[in-house]
Amino acid sequence: MNVTGESVDAIRELINIGVGRAAGLLNDMTGTHIRLEVPEVRVLRYTDLPREDRLVDGSRLSAVTLMFRGPFSGMSMLLFPDKSAAVLIAALTGEKIEEGDLDALRIETLNEVGNIVNNAVMGSITNVLGERLVYSMPEFREGSITDIMGESRSGAYDWVILAVSQFTIEDLWVVGNILMIFEIGALDRLLEKIGAVTGTSP
């Protein structure tokens, strides 16, 4: 797979912009400063995804996923270690929540948080690229990273772009990851668009 450093750099900046907006919205909701880290963007085989250290940190994860299709397809997700999701909801709603006690209403609340973050990230990408995509509704999933990705793989492809952006909700000590997986079939189209916008060639 030949992806130039410039393309990866461009993808990272697009994601950065989305994460920055998401942080602004999360800050509004939690009233807490969100510390951001430099996002990591890597090209890797789909089958190697579950072995990514940053993803498997914690056997039980909670995620709000958003699938997208169109000129490029893939999945964006907000990913928390198990306990963090409950801490976050407790902070957002002012409830006292036992660890792991997520009922329909609380899951929906977490869905909204994921919706805000995912939409911000996707919005920034589609904005810059001027593309229209079709999205699924946000979906809450729990389990290992393999459980969460589930049958999301839509095509016969080997390579994906993995973008991980870690953030910390400072007062709550909640660490989350924004994770994007672009299918490789879509990757050429994405890089093409980036090239067109930035004047670089993929």
Partner 1 sequence: MNAVSSFTQCGNLDILPAGVIVIRPDYTVVCWNRTIEEWTGIPRVDAVGRDLREIFPYLEEKRYALRIQQVFEGGPAALFSTQFHPHFIPAPLPGGGSRFQRTTVHPLSEGGETYAFIFIDDVTELVVQVRAYREMRDRALREIDERKQKEAALEESEAWFREIFDSVNDAIHIHELREDGLPGRFIDVNAVASRMLGYGREELLVMTPLDLVCGEHSRPLEQIGREILETGQAIFETEHRKKGGDSVPVEIHAHRATIRENDVVVSIVRDISQRRRSEEALAAANRKLNLLSTITRHDILNQVMALKIIADLLEMERDPAVMAGYIEKMRFVTDTIEEQVNFTRDYQEIGVRDATWQNIAETVRKVTEGLSHPGVGIVTATGDIEVFADPLFEKVIYNLLDNALRYGGPSLSGIRVSLATEGDRLLIAVEDDGAGIPAADKKNLFQRGFGKHSGLGLFLSREILAITGMAIRETGEPGRGARFEILVPAGKFRGNSVPGVTRE
Partner 2 sequence: MREVVMPKILVIDDSGFQRKVLSSVLAGEGYQVVTAEDGEVGFEMAHSEAPDLIICDLLMPGIDGYTFLKMAREGGLDTPVLVFTSDIQKSTRDICMGLGAFDVLNKPVQKESLVPAVERAIRSRERV
On whether the CB atoms of residues 191 and 129 are closer than 8 A, the answer is no
Q: How far is the CB of 154 from partner 1 (least distance, A)?
A: 17
Rounded Cα distance, 197 and 4, in Å: 15
The residue among 11 and 22 lying less far from partner 1, judged by its C-beta, is 22
On whether the CB atoms of residues 89 and 102 are closer than 8 A, the answer is yes
Part of the chain binding partner 2 (CB under 8 A), chosen from 28-36, 66-74, 102-110, 180-188 = 28-36
On whether the CB atoms of residues 136 and 68 are closer than 8 A, the answer is yes
50 lies in the binding site for partner 2 (CB under 8 A): no
The residue among 35 and 45 lying less far from partner 2, judged by its C-beta, is 35
174 lies in the binding site for partner 2 (CB under 8 A): no
Answer with the entry of partner 1, partner 2, none that 128 interacts with (C-beta below 5 to 8 A by kind): partner 2
- Contact residues for 33 (Cβ-Cβ < 8 A; gap 6+): 27, 170, 171
SS3 for 165?
strand
149 lies in the binding site for partner 2 (CB under 8 A): no
Cα separations (Å) of 97 from 79, 101, 123?
19, 6, 32
Binding residues for partner 2 (CB under 8 A): 5-6, 9-10, 12-13, 16-21, 23-24, 27, 33-34, 36-38, 124, 127-128, 198-200
